[in-house]
Amino acid sequence: YPQPGAKRRYLAVEQTDGLKLIQMPRSLRGVITSPVLSAGGKLRLLRDTFASRTRADDESVQEFMTRRVGPEFTRRIIAPLLGGIWAADISKLSCRSALPFAWNLEESHRSLAWGILRERVFRSYRPREPRPTLLSFREGMESFPLQLARRLKAGTLFLNSAVTAIDL
């Protein structure tokens, strides 16, 4: 499970006096007071309440978030956050799969902001569902493939080879 300090994430933000590490905002108040977004980027967040729903079955995280909260928020907060979690390019990452909570908020409430507000209000009236958490191996992600490699019989691991079939 993540260490308590892992809740603090930092963004490297270019400012007039150089590159600064700024703690990633974790709330609406944090977003509004944070220097991560410009005044225009913060104002753009308000358009979420008026943005139309997608008619597509799915779209990339980048398309979805840019449409909902704007390109600056997407580039400065969403991309680094999900890049660290998924290690993926958000222009190729499925929003419906990677961010089902956000996708469902748009579906059911037409707006992320209204959906989050309604969820907070109604959460106090219903039992809280367990939230998913991030898990990893104690020695890091590389420990899994290293253990697999150690347990393979000699001569059965071929590096830099094309896979043509998997026989179970």
Per residue in 21-47, pLDDT (tens digit) is 888 888 888 888 988 899 999 999 888
Instruction: Say how many C-beta atoms besides its own lie within 10 A of residue 76's C-beta.
Output: 21
What's the confidence (pLDDT) of residue 2?
67
Residue 140 in this model has a pLDDT that exceeds 60? yes
Predicted structure pTM score:
0.70
What's the confidence (pLDDT) of residue 124?
56
Nearest to 113 by CA among 98, 102, 100: 102
